[in-house]
């Protein structure tokens, strides 16, 4: 009997994933001067050799001066998708992953208002939809020193700034395709730039980039997708979204499936092929009255393949255990059943892959997984 986790999946643009297992993006901060080191090819290559069908890289800065800096959650040594040295390094990484039989997308990233102005390798103002950092009572994740600098209200992003960011995503996507990547992943979650346009707390605009409805606030994200689509042709585009924010772990963009549809349908119409639903626990019901998780709702609403991620194979969620180790949980069978039933199409694995580079091979062979060791987050292995 075949295992649905290892069935292939066509995702558009002539790209077929060899199976349903995805290396979820994880920021590691091991790229001095924005250039992935030689060890990065081995880091990604070992996961591909271990049987993961799709590698989504750590967040990669787009070619915009305010893309990456001090965001209160890292910002040092983040890789870039521009510049001769960085692009040459990415080309080598892609070749290594392809040689192992896997598909690879870069996750293009702009931190937006979470970045402190003029911090990082490049100087520049961090664009915010309405000049607002976030909620009045932020999550305890952030240090007081960061909050003192970050929470001051600024001017709303101008039309010129918005156009510059859209162009930066498009240029960086074109750079990625020239490196040989198979598709593009976009970071539109967790309170970073694209997500702040979606979130009513940070987007209070009443022009064409905002409004009282999610459909109106989806425009910026949709325009980024359209700009990337013009550059990369029919190659697949993956889009990460979330309810929760680094500012506020309990935040919700959508309280109902109808509200979620108002956000996701414009993105799908703009060219998104795969939705990456970032949650703390992959199978947690998204809305009252239904057992479906956020990824299942995304797939049901849009008809596009969706990926569930959050604690697959682990006992503790990311919020609880990023800095701490986590025991193995017997929940891979639940993810398998969700794929088999057609609720979701893909399963994202993050921390478990840091300790188990051969995670996919172990699952396929019925071998036990090793518990997540938090020390592996701080060491590229």
Kindly give the confidence (pLDDT) of every residue in the chain, 381 residues in length, as a single tens digit, with 9 standing for 90 and above. 689 999 999 999 999 999 999 999 999 889 999 999 999 999 999 999 999 999 999 999 999 999 999 998 666 799 999 999 999 999 999 999 999 999 999 999 999 999 999 999 998 999 999 999 999 888 888 999 999 999 999 999 999 999 999 999 999 999 999 999 999 999 999 999 999 999 999 999 999 999 999 999 999 999 999 999 999 999 999 999 999 999 999 999 999 999 999 999 999 999 999 999 999 999 999 999 999 999 999 999 999 999 999 999 988 776 654 567 888 889 999 999 999 999 999 999 999 999 999 999 999 999 999 988 888 877 766
- Residue 182 in tokens: 């198979």
Residue 28 is predicted with a pLDDT of 86
Query: pLDDT digits over 129-155, tens only?
Result: 999 999 988 888 899 999 999 999 999
User: What is the DSSP pairing of strand 15-17 with strand 9-12?
Assistant: antiparallel
pTM, rounded to two decimals? 0.97
Which uninterrupted H or E stretch holds 186?
A: strand 184-187
The pLDDT assigned to 321 comes to 46
Burial label, 233 (beta-carbon count in 10 A; 0-12, 13-18, 19+): exposed
Domains of the chain: 4-377 (3.20.20.70)
Residue whose tokens read 């799908």? 268
Q: What b-and-e string marks burial along 15-32, b requiring 16 or more CB atoms within 10 Å of the CB?
A: bebbbbbbbbbbbbebbe
Phi and psi at residue 161, in whole multiples of 5°? -65, -40
* Rounded distance between C-alpha atoms, residue 61 and residue 275, angstroms: 20
Structure tokens at 2: 């075949």
Distance CA 57, CA 79 (A): 10
Task: State the Cα–Cα distance between residues 232 and 7, nearest whole angstrom.
Answer: 26
Q: Round to the nearest angstrom and report the end-to-end CA distance of the chain.
A: 34
Q: Report pLDDT digits (tens) over 42-70.
A: 999 999 999 999 999 999 999 999 999 99
- CA dist 308 and 152 (Å) reads 35
Running DSSP on this structure, what letter comes out for residue 113? G
Structural element, H or E, at residue 17? strand 15-17
Task: Please state, in angstroms and rounded to a whole number, the distance separating the CA atoms of residues 84 and 252.
Answer: 40
């Amino acid at each position: 009997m075949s295992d649905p986790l290892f069935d292939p999946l066509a995702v558009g643009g002539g790209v077929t994933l060899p199976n349903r297992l995805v290396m979820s993006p994880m920021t590691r901060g091991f790229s001095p001067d924005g250039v992935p080191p030689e060890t990065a090819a081995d880091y990604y290559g070992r996961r591909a050799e271990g049987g993961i069908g799709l590698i989504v890289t750590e967040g990669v800065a787009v070619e915009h001066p305010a893309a990456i800096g001090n965001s209160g959650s890292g910002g040092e040594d983040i890789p870039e998708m521009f510049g001769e040295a960085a692009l040459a390094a990415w080309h080598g990484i892609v070749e290594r992953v392809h040689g192992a039989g896997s598909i690879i997308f870069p996750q293009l990233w702009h931190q937006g208002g979470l970045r402190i102005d003029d911090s990082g390798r490049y100087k520049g103002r961090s664009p915010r939809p309405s000049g607002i950092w976030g909620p009045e009572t932020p999550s305890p994740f952030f240090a007081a020193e960061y909050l003192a600098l970050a929470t001051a209200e600024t001017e709303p992003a101008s039309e010129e700034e918005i156009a510059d960011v859209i162009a930066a995503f498009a240029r960086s996507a074109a750079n990625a395709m020239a490196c040989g990547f198979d598709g593009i992943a976009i970071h539109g979650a967790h309170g970073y730039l694209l997500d702040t346009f979606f979130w009513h707390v940070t987007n209070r605009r009443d022009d064409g980039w905002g409004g009282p409805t999610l459909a109106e606030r989806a425009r910026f994200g949709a325009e980024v997708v359209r700009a990337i689509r013009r550059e990369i042709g029919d190659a697949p585009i993956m889009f990460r979204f979330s309810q929760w924010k680094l500012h506020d772990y309990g935040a919700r963009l959508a309280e109902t499936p109808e509200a979620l549809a108002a956000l996701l349908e414009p993105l799908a119409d703009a060219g998104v092929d795969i939705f990456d639903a970032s949650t703390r626990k992959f199978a947690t019901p998204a809305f009252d009255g239904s057992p479906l998780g956020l990824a299942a709702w995304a797939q049901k609403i849009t008809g596009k393949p969706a990926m569930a991620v959050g604690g697959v194979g682990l006992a503790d969620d990311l919020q609880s255990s990023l800095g701490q180790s986590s025991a193995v949980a017997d929940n891979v069978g639940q993810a398998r059943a969700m794929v088999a039933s057609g609720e979701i199409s893909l399963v994202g694995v993050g921390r478990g892959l840091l300790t188990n580079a051969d995670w996919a091979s172990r699952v396929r062979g019925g071998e036990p997984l090793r518990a997540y060791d938090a020390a592996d987050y701080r060491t590229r292995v």
